[in-house]
Structure 1
Amino acid sequence: MPYASPPVERTSALPRLPVVERVRRTTALAAAAALALTGAAVWQLAGGAQKSPGAEAAQDDGYAVLPHTSVGTSPGGCGQGWTSGRSGLQVFDVTNRGISPADVQLVEPGTGAVLGEVEGLAPNRSRPLLVRLAAGSYAFRCLQSDTDAVSGPTVRVTGSGAGTPAVVPVTQQDLIPVALAYQKWVASQLPGLVSDVAALHGAVASGDLAGAKQRWLTAHLAYERLGAAYGAFGDVDDEINGPRHHDTGFHGVEYGLWHGGTTTGLESVAAKLLSDVQGLAASWPKVQLDPAVLGVRAHEIVENAIEFELSGRTDYGSGSNLATVGANLDGTTEVLTLLRPLLSSRVPMPQIDTAMAAARAQLTADGAVPLGALTQEQREKLNAAFGDLVEQLAPIAAVLDVRRTQ
């Protein structure tokens, strides 16, 4: 997976989403997932600017026509102001009346499943929480900094119609086995990658131009299938697969083979690439993969494929962008396979599977041709398939975000 900036190292046990600055967002958690899976923008539920206490914070965000309920939170009182309700789309204007920042969640008391949340709400500030409630029982859970979680009174909501699907939060313990399984899978792939790059180096060193081109593609696709791990590779990822700014890595070799039309002068570049890959394989057993990273990578691999591969920005002569996208889909498939036990009860996996299959089918229909050789109709179909896929995958990061519950 080329060029994406590695994620910031996390020091907290509560991972942070890179998609939106969490400290300023309000997420109707599963509503975002449900909307994304039916074609709406995932983050359209993000909260706006903070308001002073007592103000209807959502009015400037286009929510003024919806029913509003003012809800307060403090260490001594959670969910103050909400005593009864009806079903339907509505806004809770949540105000922090405590003296420290707070996270506020709307939950189903029986299961602890979260419908929506306001995170990092500063003292004396308000923010809107947009949710769609079905008939049932709900309560606010308030997590003030440096204090235990406090649950507000259970409120019975009457009415009819479907509501925001609630999602049971995952724990760090849920994610650790998945991360370990992925690390083992990467470890199983690295010997093959080293072998493929060694074959590439051998072909370059012997002056076999046709063989070098073939082996370059095999090795490069093997690396691209490891997309979910690239953040853990550190700076060596840029050396191996970064843009061709120092005539290094895969793309330095690619440019020389296809634009130069010769292996002359590329032996040292290929040798450095082999050394970097060997070093990566040797150091991998010591890597500790962040358990939270796979939820983000589930959609980020495809996002990067759209940005860098389907745009043609990474083509240095081989015309292999579509093949690379196929390798990226392989990497995404591996991530989804490992995450499926956690996702199956939290997001509509059949819709994601359908979108994955549609994207793969469109790649197959377009064949192994350079991106620039596609017709306008083919490009439109390809863009539509991958646009839908990344939209379907986007909620996974939010659903698999570890949330404080105590």
Structure 2
Amino acid sequence: MQSTGRGLRSPRGRAVLALAVVLVLAGALALGLAHGRTARTPGTADVGADGLPHTTVEVSPGRCGRGWDAPEPGLQVFDLHNTFHRAAEVFLEDAASGAVYGEVEDIGPGTTRPLTVRLGKGTYRFRCLPEDVDAATGPTVRIDRGRSGPAAPPVTAHDLIPPALDYQRWVADGLDEAVARAVRLQQAVDRGDADAARAAWLPAHLQYERLGAAYDAFGDADGVINGTDAGLPGGVHDPDFTGFHRIEYGLWHGESTRSLKAPAAALVTALTTLRDDWAQARMDPAQLGLRAHEILENTVQFELTGRTDYGSGTSLATARANLDGTRAVLSRLRPLLTTRYAGHADLQRQLDRAEHVVDGFHHGDRWTPLGRLTRAQREKVDAVFGDLVERLASVATLCDPRRVA
């Protein structure tokens, strides 16, 4: 991915999840950061500075889950102490169903990490997964009263293969249409009809945006097709400024159509190459849930800040296309989410609300530019998209495939 334009998106997106020390299942209480507590004698439950009972639990292949000898219901903290010589991942799961109540990743050798959960009536056990070693399961612990917090069955890579293949076929069909619309744009440019070119630009651009070019979906091709001038020495006049936004700049800044013939032809070539390459590619199923989150996070960072507007004033149209792209991902994940994500129905309602808000700025063949929104309108748009990004972070976490053996 190029260092300019949309190539900036994916590494930033990776950091959002990679920097989280602890991944918590959707709706679960946020986990505290490591707070310097020393490991206590296994079997004891001290009250920490946070006012919660703390129990030290061992993490190792031979003694996974040891130390939880006095189970009690309620909100509590397990201080997971890794006595093994390799880093480990740990789940707290329902012993009967395998549903996960909490997870801590990358517990280094000799270190302790906290896991905060609410437990009630049921049977539980820890599953320890050290690096390059078979999973180990701790002893089953029973609690006879109380109500537990949320839990969800882990998603495996195998679960994600069918939805990923279906999504990949949908993208392939969308790329066919993107090429066709880009050809119509090129034809208008070639015959010197600037008005027709401006009319053809937006449908072609939105078709591409709906395909969710987030998290390295299209590799280096995205920078060529949809990159910006960010970081280019010559800015909008740099030879490496290409694709939709290069053409947008020219069409809305009085350039002659003659000067846009080469960029339009290059755009068609790049899209055609991407379409042909995509037919032979195999999308990583593990990225599907993350893509649902990244599409709208990118929208907030790029479209809703105006950073990708080169004169057409259609940032809100692009945001609307990105909502369509998010729905395309979520529709493939629905069978997994309906049994795992308690907020799934609310997420769908919030998507409906966001579409309604954005559609209010569409008038015939025109969209209200970001700069013409009132403060109240802008706050409403920002709020609805910000809420969606937070909800979709839970989707990304739930659909992150987990090792189970």
* TM-score, with length taken from structure 1: 0.88
Give the C-alpha shift of residue 144 in structure 1: 2.5
Correspondence 1:332 to 2:326: yes
Q: Aligned match of 1:176 in 149, 152, 161?
A: 161
Q: Aligned match of 2:300 in 306, 309, 315?
A: 306
Match of 1:3 in 2: 6
Number of aligned residues: 381
Q: Distance in 2 between matches of 1:48 and 1:4?
A: 33
Match of 1:249 in 2: 243
Give the C-alpha shift of residue 7 in structure 1: 4.8
What does 1:387-406 correspond to in 2, within 5 Å? 387-406=386-405
Deviations 1:95-142 (A, max 9, x none): 011222222211101111111122221221111111111222111111
Unpaired stretches in structure 2, ≥5 consecutive residues: 43-47, 230-234
Distance 1:250 1:46, change over 3 A: farther
Whether the 8 Å contact between 2:215 and 2:294 is mirrored in structure 1 is no
Q: Distance in 1 between matches of 2:135 and 2:36?
A: 23
Match of 1:190 in 2: 175
Q: Distance in 2 between matches of 1:400 and 1:228?
A: 19
Aligned-partner residue type, residue 304 of structure 2: L
Match of 2:349 in 1: 354
Deviations 1:12-57 (A, max 9, x none): xxxx9653336x7223x32xx115xxxxxx9x4263367654499x
Q: Distance in 2 between matches of 1:49 and 1:287?
A: 45
Q: Distance in 2 between matches of 1:278 and 1:228?
A: 15
Distance 1:133 1:314, change over 3 A: same
Q: Distance in 1 between matches of 2:302 and 2:49?
A: 36
Whether the 8 Å contact between 2:57 and 2:79 is mirrored in structure 1 is yes
Root mean square deviation, CA, Å: 2.2
What does 1:285-324 correspond to in 2, within 5 Å? 285-324=279-318
Deviations 1:131-163 (A, max 9, x none): 1112221111112233322221211224434x3
Q: Distance in 2 between matches of 1:214 and 1:71?
A: 64
Distance 1:109 1:230, change over 3 A: closer
Q: Distance in 2 between matches of 1:313 and 1:45?
A: 34
Percentage of identical aligned residues: 47
Unpaired stretches in structure 1, ≥5 consecutive residues: 9-15, 36-41, 57-61
Match of 2:184 in 1: 199
* TM-score, with length taken from structure 2: 0.88
Q: Distance in 2 between matches of 1:394 and 1:46?
A: 18
Match of 2:45 in 1: none
Match of 1:13 in 2: none
Aligned-partner residue type, residue 26 of structure 1: V
Whether the 8 Å contact between 1:351 and 1:392 is mirrored in structure 2 is no
Q: Distance in 2 between matches of 1:145 and 1:293?
A: 21
Q: Distance in 1 between matches of 2:101 and 2:371?
A: 45
Distance 1:261 1:46, change over 3 A: farther
Correspondence 1:107 to 2:106: no
Distance 1:55 1:6, change over 3 A: farther
Helix, strand or coil: the match of 2:400? coil
Q: Distance in 2 between matches of 1:145 and 1:90?
A: 27
Whether the 8 Å contact between 2:31 and 2:114 is mirrored in structure 1 is no
Give the C-alpha shift of residue 286 in structure 1: 1.2
Helix, strand or coil: the match of 2:293? helix
